[in-house]
A = this chain, B = another copy of it.
Amino acid sequence: MNDVVKIGIAGLGTIGSGVIKSLLRNQSDLEKKYKFKFEISGISASSKNKERSFNASSFVWFDSPIDLARDSNIDLIIELIGGDSGIAYDLAIEAIKNKKGFITANKALISSHGKELSRLSEENNSFIGYEAAVAGGIPIIKTLRSGLVLDQIKGVYGILNGTSNFILSKMSEENKSFEDALSEAQILGYAEADPSFDINGLDVAHKLSIINSLCFAEFPSIESINVKGIEAILTLDHKYAKELGYNIKLTASSFSDGGSLRKEVSPTLVEMGSSLGRVSGVSNVVCINTDYNGTIILEGEGAGEGPTSTSVLSDIVDYSSNNKQYLFNKKFADLLDSKCNNSVIDRCYYLRVFLVDQKGAMSNLTSILGKNGISIDQVIQRGGVHLKDEKNFTPVIMITHPIDSESIDSAFAELINTDLISMDPIFLPVLKDNL
Protein backbone atom coordinates (compact mmCIF):
# COMPACT_ATOMS: atom_id res chain seq x y z
CA MET A 1 0.00 0.00 0.00
CA ASN A 2 1.23 3.48 -0.75
CA ASP A 3 1.85 5.85 2.12
CA VAL A 4 -0.96 7.91 0.65
CA VAL A 5 -3.84 5.66 -0.41
CA LYS A 6 -4.71 6.24 -4.06
CA ILE A 7 -8.41 5.84 -4.61
CA GLY A 8 -10.25 5.19 -7.87
CA ILE A 9 -14.00 5.77 -7.93
CA ALA A 10 -16.29 4.23 -10.55
CA GLY A 11 -19.89 5.40 -10.81
CA LEU A 12 -20.67 9.05 -10.16
CA GLY A 13 -24.41 9.17 -9.55
CA THR A 14 -25.87 10.51 -6.32
CA ILE A 15 -23.93 8.02 -4.19
CA GLY A 16 -20.62 8.29 -6.04
CA SER A 17 -20.75 12.08 -5.93
CA GLY A 18 -21.73 11.92 -2.26
CA VAL A 19 -18.73 9.73 -1.45
CA ILE A 20 -16.36 12.17 -3.14
CA LYS A 21 -17.83 15.14 -1.26
CA SER A 22 -17.75 13.20 1.99
CA LEU A 23 -14.10 12.20 1.46
CA LEU A 24 -13.10 15.80 0.81
CA ARG A 25 -15.13 17.14 3.74
CA ASN A 26 -13.59 14.61 6.15
CA GLN A 27 -10.05 14.70 4.78
CA SER A 28 -8.38 16.37 7.76
CA ASP A 29 -10.41 14.34 10.26
CA LEU A 30 -9.44 11.07 8.57
CA GLU A 31 -5.82 12.12 8.82
CA LYS A 32 -6.13 13.13 12.48
CA LYS A 33 -8.20 10.23 13.72
CA TYR A 34 -6.90 7.37 11.63
CA LYS A 35 -3.57 8.69 10.34
CA PHE A 36 -5.11 8.05 6.95
CA LYS A 37 -3.98 10.04 3.94
CA PHE A 38 -5.62 9.58 0.57
CA GLU A 39 -5.77 10.99 -2.90
CA ILE A 40 -8.57 10.53 -5.41
CA SER A 41 -6.44 9.36 -8.29
CA GLY A 42 -9.08 8.57 -10.83
CA ILE A 43 -12.80 8.73 -11.49
CA SER A 44 -14.97 7.08 -14.09
CA ALA A 45 -18.61 6.98 -15.11
CA SER A 46 -20.68 6.31 -18.20
CA SER A 47 -21.08 9.95 -19.09
CA LYS A 48 -18.17 12.33 -18.77
CA ASN A 49 -19.95 15.61 -19.32
CA LYS A 50 -23.03 15.20 -17.16
CA GLU A 51 -23.55 17.96 -14.59
CA ARG A 52 -22.52 16.75 -11.13
CA SER A 53 -22.68 18.08 -7.58
CA PHE A 54 -18.86 18.23 -7.37
CA ASN A 55 -16.23 19.55 -9.73
CA ALA A 56 -15.37 16.47 -11.81
CA SER A 57 -12.82 18.34 -13.89
CA SER A 58 -10.43 18.54 -10.95
CA PHE A 59 -9.90 14.75 -11.05
CA VAL A 60 -8.26 12.45 -13.59
CA TRP A 61 -10.94 10.96 -15.81
CA PHE A 62 -10.84 7.30 -16.93
CA ASP A 63 -13.09 6.42 -19.85
CA SER A 64 -13.23 2.79 -18.75
CA PRO A 65 -13.69 1.91 -15.07
CA ILE A 66 -11.74 -1.31 -15.70
CA ASP A 67 -8.67 0.80 -16.38
CA LEU A 68 -8.88 2.12 -12.81
CA ALA A 69 -8.34 -1.44 -11.62
CA ARG A 70 -5.43 -1.89 -14.02
CA ASP A 71 -3.66 1.33 -13.03
CA SER A 72 -0.61 0.41 -10.97
CA ASN A 73 -0.86 3.76 -9.22
CA ILE A 74 -4.28 3.00 -7.69
CA ASP A 75 -4.66 1.03 -4.42
CA LEU A 76 -8.35 1.04 -3.74
CA ILE A 77 -11.35 0.81 -6.06
CA ILE A 78 -14.75 2.10 -4.98
CA GLU A 79 -17.52 0.67 -7.15
CA LEU A 80 -20.80 2.57 -7.17
CA ILE A 81 -22.09 1.53 -10.57
CA GLY A 82 -24.54 -1.17 -9.50
CA GLY A 83 -25.87 -4.32 -11.11
CA ASP A 84 -24.85 -7.90 -10.43
CA SER A 85 -23.10 -8.42 -13.73
CA GLY A 86 -21.52 -6.35 -16.49
CA ILE A 87 -19.05 -3.61 -15.64
CA ALA A 88 -19.49 -3.78 -11.86
CA TYR A 89 -18.66 -7.49 -11.83
CA ASP A 90 -15.75 -7.12 -14.26
CA LEU A 91 -14.36 -4.28 -12.19
CA ALA A 92 -14.58 -6.30 -8.96
CA ILE A 93 -12.75 -9.26 -10.45
CA GLU A 94 -10.08 -7.09 -12.06
CA ALA A 95 -9.51 -5.12 -8.83
CA ILE A 96 -9.19 -8.22 -6.67
CA LYS A 97 -6.95 -10.05 -9.13
CA ASN A 98 -4.72 -6.98 -9.16
CA LYS A 99 -4.65 -7.17 -5.35
CA LYS A 100 -6.34 -3.84 -4.92
CA GLY A 101 -8.81 -3.06 -2.16
CA PHE A 102 -12.42 -3.13 -3.34
CA ILE A 103 -15.33 -1.30 -1.74
CA THR A 104 -18.88 -1.47 -3.03
CA ALA A 105 -22.46 -0.56 -2.17
CA ASN A 106 -23.66 -3.26 -4.56
CA LYS A 107 -25.69 -5.92 -2.73
CA ALA A 108 -26.62 -7.76 -5.92
CA LEU A 109 -22.94 -8.19 -6.78
CA ILE A 110 -21.92 -9.42 -3.32
CA SER A 111 -24.95 -11.69 -3.12
CA SER A 112 -24.80 -13.18 -6.62
CA HIS A 113 -21.03 -13.65 -6.74
CA GLY A 114 -20.30 -14.16 -3.05
CA LYS A 115 -18.81 -17.60 -3.52
CA GLU A 116 -16.38 -16.48 -6.21
CA LEU A 117 -15.51 -13.24 -4.39
CA SER A 118 -14.86 -15.13 -1.16
CA ARG A 119 -12.43 -17.47 -2.90
CA LEU A 120 -10.73 -14.78 -4.96
CA SER A 121 -10.28 -12.32 -2.10
CA GLU A 122 -8.71 -15.08 -0.03
CA GLU A 123 -6.38 -16.18 -2.83
CA ASN A 124 -5.29 -12.61 -3.46
CA ASN A 125 -5.39 -11.49 0.16
CA SER A 126 -7.56 -8.56 -0.94
CA PHE A 127 -9.78 -6.37 1.15
CA ILE A 128 -13.47 -6.23 0.19
CA GLY A 129 -15.74 -3.77 2.02
CA TYR A 130 -19.52 -3.77 1.58
CA GLU A 131 -20.98 -1.98 4.59
CA ALA A 132 -23.02 0.24 2.26
CA ALA A 133 -24.63 -2.76 0.55
CA VAL A 134 -26.98 -3.56 3.42
CA ALA A 135 -29.12 -1.14 5.41
CA GLY A 136 -27.38 2.13 4.45
CA GLY A 137 -26.31 4.00 7.53
CA ILE A 138 -26.73 1.12 9.98
CA PRO A 139 -23.39 -0.49 10.90
CA ILE A 140 -24.76 -4.00 10.47
CA ILE A 141 -21.97 -5.54 8.40
CA LYS A 142 -19.31 -4.20 10.74
CA THR A 143 -21.23 -5.46 13.75
CA LEU A 144 -21.54 -8.91 12.23
CA ARG A 145 -17.94 -8.99 10.98
CA SER A 146 -16.10 -7.60 13.95
CA GLY A 147 -16.72 -10.20 16.57
CA LEU A 148 -19.31 -8.25 18.47
CA VAL A 149 -21.72 -11.04 18.00
CA LEU A 150 -19.75 -14.04 18.99
CA ASP A 151 -21.33 -17.23 20.15
CA GLN A 152 -24.39 -18.67 18.52
CA ILE A 153 -26.73 -16.46 16.51
CA LYS A 154 -30.20 -17.94 16.77
CA GLY A 155 -31.93 -15.66 14.35
CA VAL A 156 -31.80 -12.39 12.52
CA TYR A 157 -34.75 -10.38 11.28
CA GLY A 158 -35.56 -6.90 10.18
CA ILE A 159 -36.83 -4.37 7.68
CA LEU A 160 -34.23 -3.93 4.96
CA ASN A 161 -35.91 -1.94 2.20
CA GLY A 162 -36.76 1.71 2.74
CA THR A 163 -38.84 2.12 -0.41
CA SER A 164 -41.29 -0.66 0.37
CA ASN A 165 -41.45 0.41 4.01
CA PHE A 166 -42.27 3.95 2.89
CA ILE A 167 -45.07 2.63 0.66
CA LEU A 168 -46.51 0.37 3.37
CA SER A 169 -46.30 3.22 5.92
CA LYS A 170 -48.16 5.61 3.62
CA MET A 171 -50.86 3.02 2.93
CA SER A 172 -51.26 2.32 6.63
CA GLU A 173 -50.96 5.82 8.07
CA GLU A 174 -52.63 7.86 5.34
CA ASN A 175 -54.96 5.32 3.79
CA LYS A 176 -53.30 5.70 0.42
CA SER A 177 -53.58 3.14 -2.34
CA PHE A 178 -50.49 1.16 -3.28
CA GLU A 179 -50.27 3.11 -6.57
CA ASP A 180 -50.51 6.52 -4.90
CA ALA A 181 -47.96 5.60 -2.25
CA LEU A 182 -45.59 4.31 -4.92
CA SER A 183 -45.83 7.42 -7.02
CA GLU A 184 -45.22 9.57 -3.93
CA ALA A 185 -42.08 7.49 -3.26
CA GLN A 186 -40.99 8.10 -6.84
CA ILE A 187 -41.60 11.85 -6.62
CA LEU A 188 -39.53 12.01 -3.42
CA GLY A 189 -36.71 10.03 -5.03
CA TYR A 190 -37.15 7.01 -2.77
CA ALA A 191 -38.17 4.68 -5.58
CA GLU A 192 -36.59 4.09 -8.97
CA ALA A 193 -38.50 4.55 -12.21
CA ASP A 194 -38.58 0.74 -12.24
CA PRO A 195 -39.25 -0.12 -8.60
CA SER A 196 -39.73 -3.87 -9.19
CA PHE A 197 -36.86 -5.10 -7.01
CA ASP A 198 -37.92 -2.93 -4.07
CA ILE A 199 -41.48 -4.19 -4.27
CA ASN A 200 -41.11 -7.85 -5.19
CA GLY A 201 -38.75 -8.54 -2.29
CA LEU A 202 -35.67 -9.26 -4.40
CA ASP A 203 -33.68 -6.31 -3.02
CA VAL A 204 -34.40 -7.52 0.51
CA ALA A 205 -33.50 -11.09 -0.43
CA HIS A 206 -30.08 -9.95 -1.70
CA LYS A 207 -29.44 -8.18 1.59
CA LEU A 208 -30.70 -11.07 3.70
CA SER A 209 -28.53 -13.51 1.78
CA ILE A 210 -25.45 -11.45 2.71
CA ILE A 211 -26.48 -11.28 6.37
CA ASN A 212 -27.06 -15.04 6.31
CA SER A 213 -23.51 -15.60 5.09
CA LEU A 214 -22.08 -13.61 7.97
CA CYS A 215 -24.35 -15.15 10.61
CA PHE A 216 -24.55 -18.72 9.48
CA ALA A 217 -21.34 -19.42 7.53
CA GLU A 218 -22.92 -20.08 4.14
CA PHE A 219 -22.42 -18.67 0.68
CA PRO A 220 -25.03 -16.05 -0.12
CA SER A 221 -27.97 -17.38 -2.08
CA ILE A 222 -31.31 -15.79 -2.75
CA GLU A 223 -32.54 -19.11 -4.14
CA SER A 224 -32.63 -20.56 -0.63
CA ILE A 225 -34.92 -17.77 0.59
CA ASN A 226 -38.69 -17.92 0.33
CA VAL A 227 -39.51 -14.53 -1.23
CA LYS A 228 -42.86 -12.77 -1.43
CA GLY A 229 -43.33 -9.09 -2.33
CA ILE A 230 -45.86 -6.47 -1.29
CA GLU A 231 -47.78 -6.20 -4.58
CA ALA A 232 -50.88 -7.96 -3.32
CA ILE A 233 -51.33 -5.91 -0.14
CA LEU A 234 -54.35 -3.60 -0.22
CA THR A 235 -55.06 -0.50 1.84
CA LEU A 236 -57.87 -2.49 3.38
CA ASP A 237 -55.40 -5.08 4.70
CA HIS A 238 -53.63 -2.34 6.66
CA LYS A 239 -56.94 -1.18 8.07
CA TYR A 240 -57.86 -4.62 9.37
CA ALA A 241 -54.32 -5.37 10.57
CA LYS A 242 -54.35 -2.18 12.64
CA GLU A 243 -57.73 -3.09 14.07
CA LEU A 244 -56.10 -6.31 15.27
CA GLY A 245 -53.09 -4.44 16.73
CA TYR A 246 -50.61 -5.07 13.92
CA ASN A 247 -48.77 -3.25 11.18
CA ILE A 248 -47.94 -4.96 7.89
CA LYS A 249 -44.22 -4.78 7.14
CA LEU A 250 -42.02 -6.39 4.52
CA THR A 251 -39.79 -8.39 6.83
CA ALA A 252 -36.65 -10.42 6.23
CA SER A 253 -35.92 -13.21 8.64
CA SER A 254 -33.66 -16.20 9.09
CA PHE A 255 -34.12 -18.50 12.02
CA SER A 256 -32.16 -21.51 12.97
CA ASP A 257 -34.75 -24.26 13.21
CA GLY A 258 -33.33 -27.51 14.52
CA GLY A 259 -30.05 -27.44 12.64
CA SER A 260 -31.30 -25.98 9.39
CA LEU A 261 -32.26 -22.43 8.52
CA ARG A 262 -35.69 -21.07 7.68
CA LYS A 263 -35.19 -17.98 5.50
CA GLU A 264 -37.99 -15.74 4.37
CA VAL A 265 -38.84 -12.37 2.88
CA SER A 266 -42.53 -11.70 3.24
CA PRO A 267 -45.10 -9.09 4.14
CA THR A 268 -45.79 -9.92 7.77
CA LEU A 269 -48.11 -8.77 10.52
CA VAL A 270 -45.97 -7.42 13.37
CA GLU A 271 -47.22 -5.94 16.61
CA MET A 272 -47.62 -2.18 16.31
CA GLY A 273 -45.37 -1.25 19.20
CA SER A 274 -42.66 -3.80 18.45
CA SER A 275 -39.19 -3.03 17.11
CA LEU A 276 -40.33 -3.89 13.59
CA GLY A 277 -43.87 -2.59 13.89
CA ARG A 278 -42.92 0.93 14.79
CA VAL A 279 -40.31 1.55 12.08
CA SER A 280 -41.95 3.93 9.69
CA GLY A 281 -40.96 5.62 6.43
CA VAL A 282 -37.61 4.88 4.80
CA SER A 283 -35.94 3.63 7.98
CA ASN A 284 -34.44 0.17 8.32
CA VAL A 285 -34.03 -2.01 11.38
CA VAL A 286 -32.07 -5.21 12.03
CA CYS A 287 -32.50 -7.41 15.10
CA ILE A 288 -29.89 -10.03 15.96
CA ASN A 289 -31.01 -12.69 18.36
CA THR A 290 -28.07 -14.37 20.09
CA ASP A 291 -27.55 -17.07 22.66
CA TYR A 292 -25.34 -15.12 25.05
CA ASN A 293 -25.78 -11.47 24.13
CA GLY A 294 -29.57 -11.23 24.10
CA THR A 295 -31.13 -9.36 21.20
CA ILE A 296 -29.31 -6.41 19.65
CA ILE A 297 -31.40 -3.98 17.63
CA LEU A 298 -29.86 -1.57 15.14
CA GLU A 299 -32.04 1.07 13.53
CA GLY A 300 -31.32 3.95 11.17
CA GLU A 301 -31.74 5.34 7.71
CA GLY A 302 -31.72 2.64 5.08
CA ALA A 303 -30.38 4.46 2.09
CA GLY A 304 -29.60 7.83 0.58
CA GLU A 305 -26.49 9.86 -0.10
CA GLY A 306 -25.51 10.61 3.53
CA PRO A 307 -25.85 7.17 5.10
CA THR A 308 -24.39 5.35 2.10
CA SER A 309 -21.37 7.70 1.94
CA THR A 310 -20.80 7.28 5.66
CA SER A 311 -20.78 3.50 5.25
CA VAL A 312 -18.36 3.68 2.33
CA LEU A 313 -16.07 5.92 4.41
CA SER A 314 -16.14 3.47 7.29
CA ASP A 315 -14.98 0.78 4.87
CA ILE A 316 -12.17 3.06 3.68
CA VAL A 317 -11.09 3.47 7.32
CA ASP A 318 -11.13 -0.31 7.71
CA TYR A 319 -9.03 -0.68 4.58
CA SER A 320 -6.59 1.93 5.82
CA SER A 321 -6.15 0.14 9.14
CA ASN A 322 -5.22 -2.96 7.17
CA ASN A 323 -8.12 -4.76 8.73
CA LYS A 324 -8.21 -7.90 6.57
CA GLN A 325 -11.04 -10.17 7.49
CA TYR A 326 -12.56 -13.02 5.57
CA LEU A 327 -15.34 -11.77 3.32
CA PHE A 328 -18.02 -13.72 5.16
CA ASN A 329 -16.30 -14.15 8.56
CA LYS A 330 -14.95 -17.61 7.79
CA LYS A 331 -12.54 -18.82 5.20
CA PHE A 332 -13.78 -20.16 1.88
CA ALA A 333 -13.24 -23.77 2.91
CA ASP A 334 -15.37 -23.34 6.03
CA LEU A 335 -18.41 -21.90 4.24
CA LEU A 336 -21.22 -24.13 3.04
CA ASP A 337 -23.56 -23.96 0.10
CA SER A 338 -26.83 -22.71 1.47
CA LYS A 339 -29.78 -25.00 1.65
CA CYS A 340 -33.47 -24.38 1.18
CA ASN A 341 -35.59 -25.11 4.16
CA ASN A 342 -39.08 -23.82 4.20
CA SER A 343 -40.34 -25.95 7.02
CA VAL A 344 -41.30 -23.59 9.77
CA ILE A 345 -42.49 -23.97 13.25
CA ASP A 346 -46.25 -23.49 13.31
CA ARG A 347 -47.37 -19.89 13.36
CA CYS A 348 -50.51 -17.84 13.02
CA TYR A 349 -51.53 -16.41 9.66
CA TYR A 350 -53.60 -13.46 8.54
CA LEU A 351 -55.96 -14.56 5.77
CA ARG A 352 -57.89 -12.16 3.58
CA VAL A 353 -60.33 -13.36 0.95
CA PHE A 354 -63.08 -11.66 -1.00
CA LEU A 355 -65.89 -14.09 -0.34
CA VAL A 356 -68.86 -14.41 -2.62
CA ASP A 357 -72.16 -13.08 -1.18
CA GLN A 358 -73.92 -16.41 -1.31
CA LYS A 359 -75.60 -18.68 1.16
CA GLY A 360 -73.22 -21.21 2.66
CA ALA A 361 -70.08 -19.45 1.37
CA MET A 362 -68.57 -18.95 4.82
CA SER A 363 -69.30 -22.52 5.72
CA ASN A 364 -67.64 -23.74 2.53
CA LEU A 365 -64.63 -21.53 3.17
CA THR A 366 -64.09 -22.71 6.73
CA SER A 367 -64.62 -26.27 5.62
CA ILE A 368 -61.78 -26.00 3.06
CA LEU A 369 -59.57 -24.45 5.72
CA GLY A 370 -60.55 -27.13 8.22
CA LYS A 371 -59.79 -29.93 5.77
CA ASN A 372 -56.28 -28.51 5.55
CA GLY A 373 -55.89 -28.48 9.29
CA ILE A 374 -56.41 -24.73 9.62
CA SER A 375 -58.56 -23.53 12.50
CA ILE A 376 -59.64 -19.96 13.01
CA ASP A 377 -58.97 -17.74 16.01
CA GLN A 378 -60.59 -14.48 14.86
CA VAL A 379 -62.88 -13.43 12.00
CA ILE A 380 -63.85 -9.98 10.79
CA GLN A 381 -66.61 -9.68 8.22
CA ARG A 382 -68.56 -6.48 7.85
CA GLY A 383 -71.55 -5.75 5.67
CA GLY A 384 -71.39 -2.99 3.10
CA VAL A 385 -67.72 -3.38 2.17
CA HIS A 386 -67.18 -4.51 -1.38
CA LEU A 387 -64.57 -4.48 -4.08
CA LYS A 388 -65.18 -1.62 -6.50
CA ASP A 389 -65.57 -3.80 -9.57
CA GLU A 390 -67.03 -6.90 -8.02
CA LYS A 391 -70.01 -6.02 -5.95
CA ASN A 392 -70.81 -9.61 -5.07
CA PHE A 393 -67.74 -10.22 -2.97
CA THR A 394 -67.11 -9.10 0.61
CA PRO A 395 -63.76 -9.04 2.37
CA VAL A 396 -63.38 -11.63 5.10
CA ILE A 397 -60.39 -11.42 7.42
CA MET A 398 -59.26 -14.27 9.59
CA ILE A 399 -56.45 -14.91 12.01
CA THR A 400 -55.64 -18.61 12.16
CA HIS A 401 -54.41 -20.67 15.05
CA PRO A 402 -50.74 -21.74 14.70
CA ILE A 403 -50.25 -23.92 11.63
CA ASP A 404 -47.42 -25.03 9.32
CA SER A 405 -46.80 -23.40 5.95
CA GLU A 406 -47.57 -26.54 3.92
CA SER A 407 -51.15 -26.54 5.16
CA ILE A 408 -51.41 -22.89 4.16
CA ASP A 409 -50.05 -23.64 0.68
CA SER A 410 -52.43 -26.49 0.17
CA ALA A 411 -55.44 -24.47 1.37
CA PHE A 412 -54.37 -21.69 -1.01
CA ALA A 413 -54.19 -24.12 -3.92
CA GLU A 414 -57.64 -25.45 -3.13
CA LEU A 415 -59.23 -22.03 -2.63
CA ILE A 416 -58.11 -20.56 -5.95
CA ASN A 417 -59.89 -23.40 -7.73
CA THR A 418 -63.28 -22.64 -6.26
CA ASP A 419 -65.90 -20.02 -7.19
CA LEU A 420 -66.03 -18.95 -3.55
CA ILE A 421 -63.64 -16.07 -3.89
CA SER A 422 -62.63 -13.21 -6.15
CA MET A 423 -58.88 -12.46 -6.46
CA ASP A 424 -56.26 -14.68 -4.90
CA PRO A 425 -56.48 -14.96 -1.14
CA ILE A 426 -53.54 -13.62 0.83
CA PHE A 427 -51.95 -15.43 3.72
CA LEU A 428 -49.46 -13.40 5.77
CA PRO A 429 -47.52 -14.74 8.74
CA VAL A 430 -48.23 -13.08 12.07
CA LEU A 431 -45.30 -12.47 14.41
CA LYS A 432 -46.74 -12.49 17.90
CA ASP A 433 -43.46 -12.10 19.76
CA ASN A 434 -42.41 -8.60 20.57
CA LEU A 435 -39.86 -8.58 17.76
Contact = CB atoms under 8 A, between A and B. Distances in A.
Contacts of A16: none
B311 A148 contact: yes
Given A32-B331, A297-B297, A310 B150 contact: yes
Q: Is the interface of A mostly helix, strand, loop or mixed?
A: mixed
A314 interface: yes
Interface stretch (A21-29, A223-231, A424-432): A21-29
A392 interface: no
A321 interface: yes
A153 to B, nearest CB: 11
A273 interface: yes
A138 B321 contact: no
Contacts of A299: 275, 296-299
Given A25-B151, A26-B150, A317-B146, A292 B278 contact: no
B300 A32 contact: no
A293 B317 contact: no
A300 B306 contact: no
Contact of A150 (B22, B275, B278, B330): B22
29 contacts: A22-B150, A26-B151, A33-B147, A33-B330, A131-B148, A137-B294, A139-B143, A139-B146, A142-B142, A146-B314, A146-B317, A146-B318, A147-B313, A147-B317, A147-B318, A148-B310, A150-B310, A150-B314, A151-B306, A292-B309, A292-B310, A293-B300, A295-B301, A296-B300, A297-B300, A299-B299, A321-B323, A321-B325, A323-B323
